[in-house]
Amino acid sequence: MMRRFWDKLTDPDRVLQAAMGGLIEAAGMRYALDVGQRRYRPGEPLKLLLAGYVGTRNTGADVRVEEMIRQFRVIFGDDNLELSSLSIDPALSAGYFRTVRQLHLPPVFPKFLYSECPKHDGVIACEGSMFKSKFANALSTMMAGALGMASVEGKVSVGYGAEAGAMDESLHSFVRKQCGKSLVICRNEPSRKVLGGMGIRTKSGTDTAWTFEPAPAAVGLGRLQAAGWDGERPLLLVCPINPFYWPAKPDVVKGAAKELFGQFREEHYDSIYFHTWSEEAEERYETYLNGLAEAVTAFAAETNAFVGLVGMERLDRAACEALAARLPNGAPLFISDEHDMYTLVSVLRHASLLVSSRYHAVVTSMPGGVPSVGVTMDERIHNLLHDRGHADLLLRVDDDGLGFRLLDAMRSAYRDSERVRAEIRAFVPGEIRKMGQMGIDLEDEVLRVYPDFPRREVPRAPEHYLPPLSRSVQALLEEQT
């Protein structure tokens, strides 16, 4: 019993949550005493802080926030809105997010949030994997902490397009306590069930990447042709990851050993955060890569497909290189550390078939009607493919006989590509309309907190709460009317 008690006291995640919780309580007291804190006044711009995972060259995270910003500017108006976004490394998000001030989020963030959140009229948590322990409890702690900081000051506190899944006991308790007064607009119903069971207010929603417009098709085509594609052969794009590298956890001892003795470099993620790794994880990773390689090699031989590997986050370079080394003829790499989000999505939309372990590779390819097969590590791709009616095109990263089963799914998606394309194109407009409804719900929440904030004189219909749509997205919506 004493050992378990001691483990709780020394668990870095619990220490971080305790520190964040203490500062949230202090922020509430500070606000109650009106110690020079910002309070919204009519006629002033609404200052919102976007808290998420940008600044890591994660294409999905960046696309989500880009579309939120474009949507918020439509809903609230440029003259009435002042946005700031947290960035883990502003150098990696430079050039993104027009009109938004980017703030560097330090690795140890409680004191920073205690100082920064009160300068704003609300917090919008942005990351899709908002409340789950699969990747990093610290990330969820940061977003829930920022939401909690806004809540105790009576400000706007909204999770936007969120997903919730399995959480460690300490994170579950932290989220339940700090987000009890927040509104979380979820991107699927299973997430609503998780958060609703914790007593958190929720609304139905979707992801925010559906309206993203990539660079022109010629840009992606140029990158692919430079890599050797003739524009005629079937194009198979694959998005591998290391699904067994998570969660990442803070570890001061490993951090010291890395700096002093050069140990744990392969496991190092950032600052004092380290990936989970073991001989068992390495063996499972090898099995996953071998299964992908087996299926891709056989499919390319059968169809004469040109194969390209896409890294949606710069961390995926290692997985792409490892998979390329297993393919008889190798494969060109398109990685987010070299290509921005506009270019990568333009590349994706040329695919004849996409095989992806990255959720947003699937999402951002779907408005282009690209048939996709998911190889998932958690709930995200699972929920998406079930929602769109393609559970037969879904596998898990640790499935027995992955190579054989994946090849069968790839054959099916490619053989029935016209049907799959049509079903995908029929599915996307509904998600775009959900995104418009999210905008209505967000406006309602802002007006609940700040009744004097000016509401636009437009019909309360989803189409009036979307960012400006490209011609291709507009044509997609018109197909379904």
Q: What is the pLDDT of residue 479?
A: 80
Domain at 58, CATH number: 3.40.50
Domain assignment present for residue 422? The answer is no
Residue 5 belongs to some domain of the structure: no
Same domain, 67 and 174: yes
Same domain for 292 and 237: yes
User: Rounded to whole angstroms, what are the CA distances from 88 to 3, 131, 340, 352?
Assistant: 35, 18, 17, 35
Classify residue 469: in a domain, yes or no.
no
Q: For the domain that residue 250 is a member of, what is the CATH number? A: 3.40.50.2000
Give the pLDDT confidence score for residue 135 in this predicted structure: 73
Answer whether residue 123 is part of any domain: yes
Taking the chain (481 residues) in consecutive chunks of 10 residues, what is each chunk's mean pLDDT? 46 90 94 77 94 93 96 95 95 90 93 94 94 86 96 96 93 96 95 95 96 96 98 97 77 50 54 67 95 98 98 96 97 97 98 97 97 94 95 97 98 97 96 97 97 93 95 86 65
Q: What is the pLDDT of residue 378?
A: 87
Q: Considering the domain boundaries, does residue 8 fall inside one?
A: no
157 and 35, same structural domain? yes
Residue 282 is part of which domain span?
217-415
Q: Could you count the other beta carbons within 10 Å of the beta carbon of residue 460?
A: 12
Domain boundary among 172, 204, 236: 204
- d(CA 238, CA 215) in angstroms, rounded, equals 20
Residue type, 267: E
168 and 229 share one domain: no
Among residues 417, 421, 419, which one has the least CA distance to residue 369?
421
Residue 384 lies in a domain: yes
Q: What is the pLDDT of residue 5?
A: 40
Report how far residue 122's alpha carbon sits from residue 310's, in angstroms, rounded to the nearest whole number: 36
Within-domain flag for 468:
no
Task: Judge whether 442 lies within some domain.
Answer: no
CB atoms within 10 A of CB 418: 10
> Nearest-5° angle of CA 367, CA 369, CA 371?
125
- What is the pLDDT, as a whole number, of residue 7? 46
Q: DSSP string spanning 399-412?
A: -TTHHHHHHHHHHH
Among 318, 360, 310, residue whose Cα is nearest residue 127: 360
Sign for the CA dihedral angle at 348, 349, 352, 358 comes to positive
Q: State the pLDDT at residue 3.
A: 45
Instruction: Please check whether residues 143 and 225 belong to one and the same domain.
Output: no
Is-contact 378 132, C-beta < 8 A? yes
Considering the domain architecture, whether residues 161 and 105 belong to the same structural domain is answered as: yes
Tokens describing residue 285: 């990773």
Do 183 and 108 reside in the same domain of the chain?
yes
Task: Enter the tokens of residue 418.
Answer: 């016209």
Let me know whether 191 and 223 are in one domain: no
Residues 316 and 246 occupy one common structural domain: yes
First and final C-alpha spacing in the chain = 63
268 and 195 share one domain: no
297 and 331 inside one domain? yes
Shared domain check, 236 and 185: no
Q: Specify the pLDDT at position 38.
A: 75
Domain boundary among the residues 149, 171, 204 is at 204
Coil, helix or strand for 58?
A: strand
The residue among 181, 204, 227 that closes a domain is 204
On the question of a cis peptide bond just before residue 247, with omega within 30 degrees of 0, the verdict is yes
Q: Could you give the number of structural domains in the chain?
A: 2
